[in-house]
C-alpha cells in the first residue's frame, strides 16, 4: 500500500494536503506515529485548516509509513509533554464537532490512543490485515482518551469489555464484523479513504458521533463477578479490574461524566508503581535486542535451516520453538531409543496444545513435519545453525564441538545451550571460535520467551547479530551477555539460593520461604523452583566449583545433604518437599525439617523465628547486589537487561519491573544502607557492589 507522505507541515510531526475536495491529515511521527504532543497539535491544526477551507468537503486521517497509529507516545508519560494542550480528548472533540465528515483510514495498526483517535472520527475504514485494539492493560493502564466509553457504545459492552480487559487485537476483517469499522480498504489506503469520504460527504444529515449515543447496555454482564474472576497473580490485575470499572461506568454515566471518570482512573494508574514497572519492561525488552559497540556495516547471516544435537527435554523444546516459527529442523540423536523418546515428547506437547483448542490437528502435523529426526550425524552438515543440547559437562561438550567442527559447512553458526559453562572453553575445541556462540534457552524452550545469547571472546559481531535476529524471528526475547559462571540469570540465582539456605538453617521452613517470596510476587518460591529444575543439576555445579570456594565463607550444606539422600526434586518425588505420584504439589516433609535442624546444629547456629519481611529482603537484595556487579563487569550490556532476564526467565514479578528497577524504586541509597547493614552483621557475602556504592556517592537514582 502506498502511504507516502505529501502536503505541508502543520507541526513537526503532521502534514496537511488537499486532494480536490478532501483534506488529508498525515500522522508522520515514526516509527509508529505515536500521539505525542506535536502530533496532537498538528492534527488540531490540520482540522482547523480544513474547516476554514471552502473547497474541502471531507477530511481523511492517515498514517505515514507502515502504520496508522500505534498509540500514545509512552516515553512522554509522567512528563509535561503528556498533558500539553491539546489533549487527545480535545482533539477528538474537535473531530466530533466538525460539520465535514472525518474518516480514519487505518492500515498497519491502530492501537491504544490510535484506536481512540479513530473512534472519535465519524467513520473508520480498515485494511483487512490491520490490527486494532485498546492494549493499555498490557502496560498496567486503561485507555485515557475515551476508549472505555466509546467502544461499549459502538459494539456493545460485552465485546468491548473483552477487548479492553484482555488487551487483545483484532484484524480489520474482524473489526468490520464487530461493527468497529465501516468498510474494508480496497486498494491504496489514502485513495480508498478519499473515495469513502466523498461518498459520506454526499450524504445528507449529520455524521455519526459515538459520544452522542446513550450509555451502553449492561445486559448479561455481572461486573462484581467479573472483578472477582480477575487472576490476582496477573501482572496487570489492577489495570484489568480498573478496565471493568470503566466499562461499567459506560453503562451508567452520561458521556462526559464517563470521560472524566475514565481519565481520573487513568491518571491514578499512570502515576502508580505497577504501570511504571510494566512500561520500564516494555522499553527494556526492546532495548535488550540492540547491540552496543557493534562494528559498522555488520550484516547478519541468513539462517534458513537449523539442526539440534540432542533430543532430550531441552533439545526437543528447542526443535519445537523453531518448528513453531515455520523453520525446518533436523533433530539428531546417537541412539534410536533416545530419538524416539524425544519425538514422543514433542508429540505429547503438541497434543496437549491441540486438546486445549490452541492448535488444530492439521497445524500440529504441519509442525511435526518440519522436524526431521535422524541418527545420521552427517545430516547436520548443511545446517546454517547447529545447536548442541547435550548433558552439562565440559568434556562432553568439547567432544561434540570437535565433531561439529569437522562436519559442519564453513560459515555455519555453532551454538551451545549451556546454562553455565564457558563458551570460550567450548569454542577452543574448534578451529572456528568466531562462529561459536551460546544460546541459553529456558525450559520449556518451546514456551519460555527468554534467550540468553552468550558471546565468547572470539565470537564475531556477525554471528551475534545473526543470533539476536534469529531469536526475535522465533518469538524469543534475546539478551546479549558475556561469559562468566552462570552468565546473568544463574549467577544471580546462586546468591538467591544461598540466602534461602541460610534462612533455613536460621529458623525458616521451606514452605515459609516459598510463601513469602510468592506473596512478594514471584511465580514460585526458590525451593519449589529448585525442586522443579532438578536439585542434582546445581549439586553437580557446586561440586565442580567446590575447589574455588573460600574456606572462611559460610556455606549451607542443606541442599547437598538433601541430594545425598537421592532426593533431586520432582523427578524423584522428593527434594525440599515430597510429591505424590503424578502430582507437582509440594508437601512439607519432616525428613527435611529434621535435616535442616541437624545442619544448623553442626554449623553452631541457634535457630530463631524469621519474619517474612527478612526473607524477602535478604533474597531480593542478594539478586540486586549481584546484578549490580554483573552490570559493572559488563556481563550484561545494561541494568535493564538484568530485569528482562529475571522477569522473563526466573519469575520475578513484572509489576515490580525486575530486581534492578525495584531497587531504583526503593531508592538506591536505601538499598545500599540495607546491604551495608547486612554486611556488618552477616559478613563478606554481603560486600556492597562497587557500582551501587558509586551511584549512591554520585547522588544517582538509577543504575
User: Is the pLDDT at 442 greater than 80, yes or no?
Assistant: yes
Rounded mean pLDDT of 81-94?
A: 95
Q: Hey, where are the domains in the chain?
A: 8-271, 306-484, 490-634+667-697
* Annotated active-site residue in 6, 136, 162, 580: 136
Among residues 419, 429, 443, which one has the least CA distance to residue 315?
443
Rounded mean pLDDT of 330-335?
A: 97
Choose which CATH entry (2.60.40.10, 3.40.50.720, 3.30.70.1250, 3.20.20.70) describes domain 306-484: 3.40.50.720
Q: State how far the alpha carbon of 635 is from the alpha carbons of 290, 321, 339, 439, 488, in Å.
A: 15, 26, 36, 15, 7
Residue 136: active-site member: yes
DSSP code of residue 26 = E
User: Is the pLDDT at 3 greater than 70, yes or no?
Assistant: no
| pLDDT on residue 7 | 84
Give residue 433's Cα distance to chain centre. Answer: 31
Give the chain's length: 703
Tens digit of pLDDT for each residue in 264-297?
999 999 999 999 999 999 999 999 999 988 888 8
User: Is the pLDDT at 2 greater than 90, yes or no?
Assistant: no
Tens digit of pLDDT for each residue in 420-439?
999 999 999 999 999 999 99
Contact status, residue 636 vs residue 479, Cβ threshold 8 Å: yes
| pLDDT on residue 4 | 60
Give the Cβ contact number of residue 570 at 10 Å.
19
CATH number for region 490-634+667-697: 1.10.1040.50
* Annotated active-site residue in 12, 90, 116, 614: 116
Tens digit of pLDDT for each residue in 144-190?
999 999 999 999 999 999 999 999 999 999 999 999 999 999 899 99
Cα(592)–Cα(358) distance, integer angstroms: 40
Q: Which three cell numbers stand for residue 175?
A: 473489526
The contacts of residue 141 (CB under 8 Å, 6+ apart) are: 239, 266, 269, 270, 275
DSSP code of residue 687 = P
Domain 8-271: CATH class, spelled out: alpha beta
Which of these ranges, 370-384, 396-410, 537-551, 620-634, has the smallest mean pLDDT? 537-551
Helix axes 489-506, 510-520, angle to 10 degrees: 130
Written as one string, the DSSP assignment of 574-641 is BSSSB--TT----B--HHHHHHHHHHHHHTT-------HHHHHHHHHHHHHHHHHHHHHTTSBSSHHH
Cα separation of the two ends of the chain: 44
* Helical ranges in 82-188 per DSSP H: 88-96, 113-120, 147-155, 157-166, 172-178
Tens digit of pLDDT for each residue in 638-683?
999 999 999 999 999 999 999 999 999 999 999 999 999 999 999 9
Cα(227)–Cα(245) distance, integer angstroms: 8
Q: State how far the alpha carbon of 688 is from the alpha carbons of 482, 484, 670, 681, 700, in Å.
A: 22, 19, 13, 13, 16
User: Is the pLDDT at 78 greater than 90, yes or no?
Assistant: no
User: Is the pLDDT at 377 greater than 80, yes or no?
Assistant: yes
Q: State how far the alpha carbon of 602 is from the alpha carbons of 164, 371, 505, 507, 546, in Å.
A: 58, 53, 10, 14, 19
Amino acid at each position: 500500500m502506498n502511504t507516502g507522505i505529501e502536503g505541508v507541515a502543520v507541526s513537526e510531526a503532521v502534514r496537511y494536503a488537499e486532494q480536490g475536495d478532501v483534506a488529508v491529515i498525515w500522522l508522520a511521527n515514526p516509527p509508529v506515529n505515536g500521539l505525542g504532543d506535536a502530533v496532537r497539535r498538528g492534527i488540531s491544526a490540520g482540522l482547523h485548516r480544513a474547516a476554514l477551507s471552502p473547497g474541502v468537503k471531507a477530511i481523511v486521517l492517515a498514517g505515514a509509513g507502515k502504520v496508522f497509529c500505534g498509540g500514545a507516545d509512552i516515553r512522554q508519560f509522567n512528563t509535561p509533554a503528556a498533558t500539553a494542550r491539546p489533549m487527545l480528548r480535545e482533539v477528538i472533540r474537535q473531530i466530533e464537532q466538525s460539520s465535514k465528515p472525518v474518516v480514519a483510514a487505518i492500515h498497519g495498526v491502530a492501537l491504544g490512543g490510535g484506536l481512540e483517535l479513530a473512534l472519535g472520527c465519524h467513520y473508520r475504514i480498515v485494511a483487512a490485515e490491520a490490527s486494532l485494539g485498546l492494549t493499555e492493560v498490557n502496560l498496567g493502564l486503561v485507555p485515557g482518551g475515551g476508549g472505555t466509553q466509546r467502544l461499549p457504545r459502538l459494539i456493545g459492552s460485552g465485546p468491548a469489555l473483552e477487548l479492553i480487559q484482555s488487551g487483545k487485537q483484532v484484524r480489520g476483517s474482524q473489526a468490520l464484523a464487530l461493527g468497529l469499522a465501516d468498510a474494508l480498504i480496497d486498494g491504496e489506503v489514502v485513495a480508498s479513504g478519499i473515495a469513502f469520504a466523498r461518498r459520506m460527504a454526499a450524504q445528507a444529515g449529520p455524521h455519526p458521533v459515538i459520544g452522542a449515543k446513550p450509555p451502553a447496555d449492561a445486559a448479561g454482564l455481572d461486573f462484581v463477578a467479573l472483578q472477582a474472576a480477575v487472576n490476582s497473580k496477573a501482572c496487570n490485575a489492577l489495570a484489568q479490574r480498573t478496565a471493568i470499572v470503566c466499562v461499567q461506568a459506560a453503562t451508567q454515566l452520561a458521556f462526559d461524566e464517563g470521560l472524566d471518570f475514565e481519565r481520573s482512573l487513568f491518571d491514578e494508574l499512570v502515576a502508580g508503581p505497577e504501570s511504571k514497572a510494566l512500561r520500564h519492561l516494555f522499553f527494556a525488552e526492546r532495548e535488550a535486542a540492540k547491540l552496543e559497540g557493534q562494528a559498522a556495516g555488520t550484516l547478519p547471516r541468513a539462517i534458513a535451516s537449523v539442526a539440534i544435537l540432542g533430543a532430550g527435554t531441552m533439545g526437543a523444546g528447542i526443535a519445537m520453538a523453531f518448528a513453531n516459527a515455520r523453520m525446518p529442523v533436523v533433530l539428531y540423536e546417537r541412539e534410536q531409543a533416545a530419538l524416539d523418546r524425544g519425538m514422543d515428547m514433542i508429540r505429547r506437547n503438541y497434543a496437549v496444545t491441540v486438546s486445549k483448542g490452541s492448535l488444530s490437528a492439521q497445524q500440529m502435523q504441519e509442525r511435526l513435519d518440519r522436524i526431521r529426526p535422524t541418527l545420521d550425524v552427517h545430516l547436520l552438515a548443511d545446517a546454517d545453525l547447529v545447536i548442541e543440547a547435550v548433558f552439562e559437562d565440559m568434556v562432553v561438550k568439547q567432544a561434540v564441538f570437535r565433531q561439529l567442527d569437522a562436519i559442519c559447512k564453513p560459515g555455519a553458526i555453532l551454538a551451545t545451550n549451556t546454562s553455565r559453562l564457558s563458551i570460550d572453553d567450548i569454542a577452543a575445541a574448534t578451529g572456528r571460535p568466531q562462529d561459536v556462540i551460546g544460546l541459553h534457552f529456558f525450559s520449556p524452550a518451546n514456551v519460555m520467551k527468554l534467550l540468553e545469547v552468550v558471546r565468547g571472546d572470539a565470537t564475531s559481531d556477525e554471528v551475534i547479530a545473526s543470533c539476536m535476529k534469529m531469536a526475535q524471528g522465533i518469538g524469543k526475547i534475546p539478551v546479549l551477555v558475556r561469559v562468566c559462571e552462570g552468565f546473568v540469570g544463574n549467577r544471580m540465582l546462586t546468591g538467591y539460593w544461598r540466602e534461602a539456605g541460610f534462612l533455613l538453617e536460621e529458623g525458616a521452613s521451606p514452605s515459609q520461604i516459598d510463601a513469602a517470596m510468592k506473596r512478594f510476587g514471584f511465580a514460585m518460591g526458590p525451593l519449589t523452583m529448585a525442586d522443579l529444575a532438578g536439585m542434582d543439576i546445581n549439586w553437580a555445579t557446586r561440586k565442580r566449583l567446590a575447589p574455588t570456594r573460600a574456606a572462611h565463607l559460610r556455606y549451607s550444606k542443606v541442599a547437598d545433604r538433601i541430594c545425598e539422600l537421592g532426593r533431586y526434586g520432582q523427578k524423584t518425588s522428593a527434594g525440599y518437599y515430597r510429591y505424590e505420584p503424578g502430582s507437582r504439589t509440594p508437601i512439607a516433609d519432616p525428613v527435611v525439617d529434621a535435616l535442616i535442624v541437624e545442619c544448623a546444629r553442626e554449623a553452631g547456629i541457634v535457630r530463631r523465628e524469621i519474619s517474612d519481611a527478612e526473607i524477602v529482603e535478604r533474597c531480593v537484595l542478594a539478586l540486586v547486589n549481584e546484578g549490580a556487579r554483573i552490570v559493572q563487569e559488563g556481563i550484561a550490556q545494561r541494568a535493564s537487561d538484568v530485569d528482562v532476564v529475571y522477569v522473563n526467565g526466573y519469575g520475578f514479578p513484572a509489576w515490580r519491573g525486575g530486581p534492578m528497577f525495584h531497587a531504583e524504586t526503593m531508592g538506591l541509597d536505601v538499598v545500599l544502607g540495607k546491604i551495608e547493614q547486612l554486611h556488618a552483621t552477616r559478613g563478606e557475602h554481603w560486600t556492597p557492589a562497587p557500582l551501587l556504592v558509586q551511584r549512591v556517592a554520585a547522588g544517582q537514582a538509577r543504575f
